[in-house]
Amino acid sequence: SLESGLTLLNAVYQSTQNQAANGLATQSQVLSARQQLESTQATKLTLTSSEQKLRQTLCTMLGWKYDAKPEIKDVPAADLTRIDGMNPEAAQDNNFTIRYNVLDLDNKDAGSVEYQNLQRTIKQEKEEVASSLVNLYNDVLQKKNELQTAKAAYELEKTKMETAERKWQLGTIGRLEYMQQQNSLKTKEIAVKTGDLSLFQAMETYDWAVKGNLSLSQ
């Protein structure tokens, strides 16, 4: 996204300089275009540095040297069929904390205060797990809707890009306008990828919670 934006901002800066040379833009506008370009360049440098640090952290966490070059593959696309099998109401008893407390309950005297307190704790934990699973499931559905919206916006932008392509070939739009449409299409494409990653992460979070990996406040 930054690379696409940099290409466009550089073109805007050059165009503004040319306009200023012909008396069609002010030096203030030139300075503003330059500042936007330099700000995005700085952001890219920061992101590149963060990426390198993250790679080094992953390498050392997983037993490699910090400067190792293991292959890091793309996250797989979200599989929408996974959502059909999600049933938050049937998964609350899988929680590790609840299972431990249920086993601990068997070791306590049924008439003791400890037994009664633990019973209440388990009941509260089951309610908390049930609520959390429903919330996580709803988050999956929300991310699915957001992805579908992003895909629809991308398809619309592709149509606009096809129109811009024809206009460009006919010479009825300028280079800058054409590049702006290219950047807009790239932005929508990245929104689809981001939406897909968000949905995948939401499904992974839900599945791990179903398997019992869900922290409780109790």
Residue with tokens 């979070």: 205
| pLDDT of 122 higher than 90 | no
In this model, does residue 91 exceed pLDDT 70?
A: no
> Which sign does the torsion angle of CA 165, 167, 170, 173 carry?
negative
Please tell me what DSSP assigns to residue 92: G
| Cα→Cα distances 55→17, 104, 187, 190, 201, Å | 39, 42, 25, 22, 19
Q: Give yes or no for residue 194 having a pLDDT over 70.
A: yes
CB 157 within 8 A of CB 167: no
| Interval 83-100 mean pLDDT | 80
> What confidence tier does 217 reach under pLDDT thresholds 50, 70, 90?
low
| Residue-averaged pLDDT of the chain | 92
pLDDT over 90 at 117, yes or no = no
The whole-number average pLDDT for the span 110-138 is 88
Distance separating the N- and C-terminal Cα atoms of the chain:
43
Q: What is the pLDDT of residues 46-86, one digit of tens each?
A: 999 999 999 999 999 999 999 999 998 999 999 999 999 99
The torsion angle over the Cα atoms of residues 41, 46, 48 and 51, rounded to 10 degrees, is: -160
Structure tokens at 81: 């069929």
